[in-house]
């Protein structure tokens, strides 16, 4: 026991500070897309053709594009093929939004996430319990959600916890494209969660269906099935992106 305690003391504090520093992000991290105005040519549509999830669209009557982060899997193919260098992926991990339209990235700067207000802020601002539902996910988003409970991220320091039963939860954290086999289970879990309650869609699959969009076996995410309070884009989202979204949602920006 003494050797264990000694080893633990020598290790020091392993919990990383929040907000995250650039050193906390992996070298290959791709964050918020940045579009440079005026570089798109009239006929170039290479980025649109190379996007595997149809996340890029050309704005009508304008020589510029728009990226839907709800569909984007952050593969970087668009930036790689763009001859003008219009598209770049920054190191900004703050991607979450309260609205679906907020995930559309164009020429304007993306605003930071607005926290809950009113009664929901009063109820969930100090303590938030979530039931995670994997609605047919590949386990990528699920792993990055689970890692938030480790010492490095310590989700509990913000008063946020994952619980085993929906009856003990304040809301659902949904991952996966909502497959036909998980549709009924998702609805039953939602019904078992006491009101008022939240829904958090994590990952491009949960937001839009991701790579599986429009397959007959999936419901194209949780949108239209349950009322979504927070969208966390990515494939999968980096743990810092998920953490930042959850923390800002309940109004705790420092920790």
Written as one string, the DSSP assignment of 200-217 is: EEESHHHHH-GGGTT-TT
Q: What is the residue-level pLDDT of the chain in tens, covering all 255 positions?
A: 878 777 767 766 778 889 888 778 989 999 999 998 776 776 788 999 999 999 999 876 667 889 999 999 999 999 999 988 889 999 999 999 999 999 999 867 788 888 999 999 999 999 999 999 999 999 999 999 999 999 889 999 999 999 999 999 999 999 999 999 999 999 999 999 999 999 999 999 999 999 999 999 999 999 999 999 999 999 999 999 999 999 999 998 654
d(CA 183, CA 71) in angstroms, rounded, equals 20
Domain spans, the chain: 30-92, 118-249
Tell me which H or E stretch contains 35: strand 33-35
d(CA 249, CA 236): 19
Q: What pLDDT, on a 0 to 100 scale, did the predictor assign at position 62?
A: 65
Question: Nearest Cα to 55, choosing from 159, 210, 212, 191?
Answer: 210
Identify any residues that bridge with 232 across adjacent strands, giving them in sequence order. 202
Q: How many CB atoms lie within 10 A of CB 190?
A: 20
Token look-up 């007959």 returns 216
Angle at the Cα of 173 (from 169 to 179), degrees rounded to 5? 120
Task: Name, in order, each residue with C-beta under 8 angstroms of 119's C-beta and a sequence gap of 6 or more.
Answer: 196
Contact criterion met (CB below 8 Å) for 213 and 71: yes
Token digits of residue 97? 């939004």
What residues does 226 pair with on adjacent strands?
223
Report the number of secondary-structure helices (H) and strands (E) in the chain.
8, 10
> How many other CB atoms are found less than 10 A from the CB of residue 117?
10
Q: Which CATH number fits domain 118-249: 2.40.50.140, 1.20.1740.10, 3.40.50.300, 3.40.50.12280?
A: 3.40.50.12280
Strand 171-175 versus strand 128-134 pairing type: parallel
Residue whose token pair is 């990055």? 144
184: its two tokens: 């009924």
Tell which phi-psi region holds residue 115, choosing left (phi > 0), alpha (psi between -120 and 50) or beta: beta
The fold for domain 30-92 equals Alpha-Beta Plaits (3.30.70)
What is the spatial distance between Cα 178 and Cα 222, in angstroms, rounded to a whole number?
7
210: left (phi over 0), alpha (psi -120 to 50) or beta: left
């Amino acid at each position: 026991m003494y050797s264990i305690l000694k080893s633990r003391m020598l290790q020091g504090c392993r919990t990383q500070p929040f907000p995250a520093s650039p050193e906390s992000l992996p070298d290959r991290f791709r964050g918020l897309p940045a579009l440079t105005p005026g570089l798109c040519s009239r006929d170039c549509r290479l980025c649109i053709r190379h996007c595997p999830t149809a996340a890029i669209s050309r704005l009508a009557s304008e020589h510029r594009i728009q990226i839907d982060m709800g569909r984007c899997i952050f593969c970087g193919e668009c930036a790689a093929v763009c001859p003008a260098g219009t598209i770049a992926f920054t190191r900004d991990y703050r991607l979450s939004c309260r609205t679906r339209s907020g995930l559309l990235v164009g020429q304007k700067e993306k605003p930071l996430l607005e926290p809950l207000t009113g009664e929901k802020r009063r109820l969930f601002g100090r303590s938030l319990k979530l039931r995670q539902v994997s609605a047919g996910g590949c386990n990528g988003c699920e792993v990055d959600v689970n890692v938030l409970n480790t010492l490095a991220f310590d989700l509990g320091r913000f008063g946020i916890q994952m619980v085993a039963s929906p009856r003990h939860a304040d809301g659902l954290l949904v991952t996966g494209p909502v497959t036909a086999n998980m549709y009924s289970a998702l609805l039953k879990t939602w019904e078992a969660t006491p009101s008022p309650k939240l829904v958090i869609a994590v990952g491009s699959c949960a937001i839009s269906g991701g790579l599986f969009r429009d397959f007959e076996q999936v419901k194209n995410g949780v949108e239209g099935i349950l009322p979504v309070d927070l969208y966390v884009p990515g494939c999968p989202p980096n743990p810092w992106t998920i953490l930042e979204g959850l923390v800002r949602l309940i109004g705790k920006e420092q920790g």
